[in-house]
Every structure is written in C-alpha cells, then in structure tokens.
Amino acid sequence: MIRARCRGVRLAAWLIPAALLGTVVPAVAHHSGAGVDRTRTVTVSGLVKDFRWTNPHSWIDLEVTDASGTKAVWSVEMNPPPYLVRAGWKSSTLKPGDTVSVTLNPIRTGEPGGIFVSVTLADGRVLGGRAGGPAAAPAPASVPGGGKP
C-alpha cells in the first residue's frame, strides 16, 4: 500500500509541472511586435525575390534599389494564408520577378523590413492582409534610400 502511494505521489510530481508547462509554452511561443513601429508606414517598390505562403506567417522578400543603386532585401511579415485568402490572395498572387509596391509598418531599428499593410500589384490592384479592413494605412513620410512615403 505504501508503494502505491509513493507511485501516485511521483506521478503527480511529474504531471503537475507538465500541465503547467503546457499552459505557459503557447503564451511564450508567439513573438512580440514591439520591434515594429505600428504608428508609421513606409512604401517600398521593387522586385519580388521570394514569396512564402506559409503558417504561421507568410513572407515577401522584396529587392529594393535605392537612388544610389544600392540593393537591399526587405523582409515583410504577413498574415497566415487563411487571412490572406479572405482578403483576395492566392498562393500564386506574387511570383519572383514581379514588380510591386509594398506598404508596411517598419522595423524600429531601421533594418529593411516590417509588418505588411498592403501591396500594389503591377496591374494596379491593391491587396491588404485582412478581409474587410482598409487596403492601406495613411500615406507615410519618405524613406531614406529610395522608399516612397
């Protein structure tokens, strides 16, 4: 009888921390948006280098050439595919080599990248990241290195 109690206590000693860990990990697993300035938008134009239609976030890598001819790759984090589909996207909407303008909330450090707001395709269509939301945020100020406001 004492052995059975010891096994139960040992089992509880493992199950309780495991259950608590299971509630903490999902909260920690998603990253913070603190590194992005959501009060500003910038628009950059260039060639799509890569478009990744993936969960939990889709991505656009955009090759942007500034006024001096220097190229930089802007990495733009987007919503997951289910949100994009509801906003009119398909996995084939962007292809490497497409010329587009992307409006985004920039990274606070000035690195080339940010969080997606909208894209203007070569044919003039504007797509956002969520159905029913505004296609783009208000016009931003100009970006050093060739970006547009």
pTM above 0.85, yes or no: no
Q: Are residues 65 and 108 in the same domain?
A: yes
Phi, psi of 78 (to 5 degrees): -120, 180
Q: Are residues 24 and 70 in the same domain?
A: no
Domain of residue 47, residue span: 42-128
Cβ atoms of 89 and 128 within 8 Å: the answer is no
DSSP H or E segment with residue 13: helix 2-29
Name the 3-class secondary structure at 3.
helix
What tens-digit pLDDT sequence spans the chain (149 residues)? 666 565 655 655 555 555 544 544 444 455 667 889 999 999 999 999 999 999 999 999 999 999 899 999 999 999 999 999 999 999 999 999 999 999 999 999 999 999 999 999 999 999 998 876 544 444 444 454 455 44
Q: Are residues 21 and 48 in the same domain?
A: no
DSSP of 114-146: EEEEEEE-TTS-EEESSTTS-SSPSP---BTTT
